[in-house]
Structure formats: C-alpha cells, structure tokens
Amino acid sequence: MIVELDTISSTMDYARELLRSHTLQIDKSGMLSHQAVICKYQTSGRGQRGREWVSMDGDNLYSTLFYQGIPLTGQSAGHVSLIAGAAVAEAVYLAFMESHWPNNISNIASIGIKWPNDILLNGKKAGGILIEIENDSQVGPVALIGTGINIGTSKLSPELTSSATSFLLENMKPVPPMRLLQWILHALDRLTYIYKIAGLSGILRRWRHWDATTGMKFKCNTSEGWIGTAVGLDDNGHLILRKEDGSQFSVLGATHLI
C-alpha cells in the first residue's frame, strides 16, 4: 500500500508520524502492509547531514519507503544504505533503458552512486537517499528510506547547474514518479533476497557495479580531519581512502570535497 499526497513538509516527517501514531496496517506476519509515502511537492525536504533538499519544478520523485527487509540492529542496520543505493541505481537504469530503447543503450556508465547515497547521471547529482531508523513498539525497528530523484526538472538555479541534473536535462524521457517508485520497491525486494542468500558480499558486488566514488577526494569526519582519495569500499562496506603518503584507511563518515 502506498500513501499518495499532494504537498507536505516532507515525506520522511510524514512517514515517521504515521509510524509513531500506529495508524499503519500490519499484516499477519507482523510486518507493515504500507510500503511508502509519495508526494508531488515538499516544502521542507532535507538530505544528508541536515541539508535542505529543494523541491524543484517538474514531476520529480519525493518519497519515503518503510523497510523491514533485513535485521535493523548492530552492523546489519548500516547495510540498508548499501542496499538502498544499489536499488535506486538499478531503478534509474530501468528508466534509462525505457528512455533509450531500442537505440543508444550503451551509455550505462553514466549512472553511478557517489558514497554514501548520491545518485549521479553523467557525473552530476540527480538524486539522493536519506535513511533513518525508527524503533516501533508494535513491529520493531523500521528503516525509513527517503528518496528524492530529479526527473522532469527542465531548469536549475545558477548555483546548481555545475553539480546537479535531472532525467530531462540528461536527455532521458521522464518517467512517472510512481513508476520509478515501483521499480525501486521491486529492486529492494530483489536485493534483500540477495542479501539473505549471499550476505553483504552479494550487495557489495551490485554496489561496486554502480560505483562512481573511486577517484574522488573526501575529508574524514574525525578530529584528525584527514583528506584522502577514494579507492572503493572494503568488505564491510566502509569507504577506503588513500592519503598522499600512500597509506590507506577505512572510514564510516566522510565529506566529499568538490
């Protein structure tokens, strides 16, 4: 079940309130029957580290998914970020294929993930993912996966033209936001199944397929503030950075340097 709305403050806030008010339906297995909240416009959307997520003109995707696919305690809770990133990238790829089929379907590398959860088209940000975990007294931990994707935006503000983009601006035929959301939900189901069968290694193979992070510079979110160049993810899904002296280290948090 998907909750469809017009204009709200943010799908993340609305989804959290639905969860906390215990108004969501629960199936016989004790899982939420609701899958997501989607709206046409957000007045107070936000991204990583509390940044504002601007709702642009055009038919874009603003949604928050209710996710209970894997255990949301300990290390596995952090794996949701990797599963979600790969799922959204795969859904964007389906949109690309629909837009270009049967001609010009070779430019797959234009789709990528910038660690931790930015979706890139031709090197520019077309979307982002924000994940928060709520511990519900009825169903236990639930991951709220906020997803914003620029689909039909035709014009960007001057300060965003060098770093952001949309499907339309990259010559992709815009898809209805609801269809893209359905593709994301299906991809989440597939990747959750892979996780249950193959563990994190199975997800990392998918994530690395879309990796657009390697070669970028990051500053660590630590007291040392080290700066390093990304060389990929380690087997735990942490970002590996290489310092100027050639030494490498893994981090859980870092800020991309333009």
Task: Evaluate if residue 80 carries a pLDDT over 50.
Answer: yes
**Residue type present at position 97:** M
Residues 143 and 244 grouped into a single domain: no
Domain containing 226: what range?
A: 217-257
pLDDT tens digit sequence for 106-117: 555 489 999 989
The answer on 248 and 129 residing in a single domain is no
Task: Report the CATH number at residue 238.
Answer: 2.30.30
pTM for the predicted model, two decimal places: 0.90
Q: How many domains does the chain have?
A: 2
Query: Is the domain of 172 the same as that of 60?
Result: yes
Do 225 and 201 share a structural domain? no
The answer on 227 and 167 residing in a single domain is: no
Looking up residue 76, the CATH number of its domain turns out to be 3.30.930.10
Q: Are residues 31 and 134 in the same domain?
A: yes
Would you state the pLDDT for residue 148? 94
Q: How confident is the model at residue 213 (pLDDT cuts 50, 70, 90)?
A: very high
pLDDT of 231 strictly over 70:
yes
CA distance 79 to 65: 16
Q: Check residue 31 and report its DSSP letter.
A: -
Q: How far is CA 177 from CA 1, 4, 77, 142, 187, in A?
A: 16, 11, 27, 23, 15
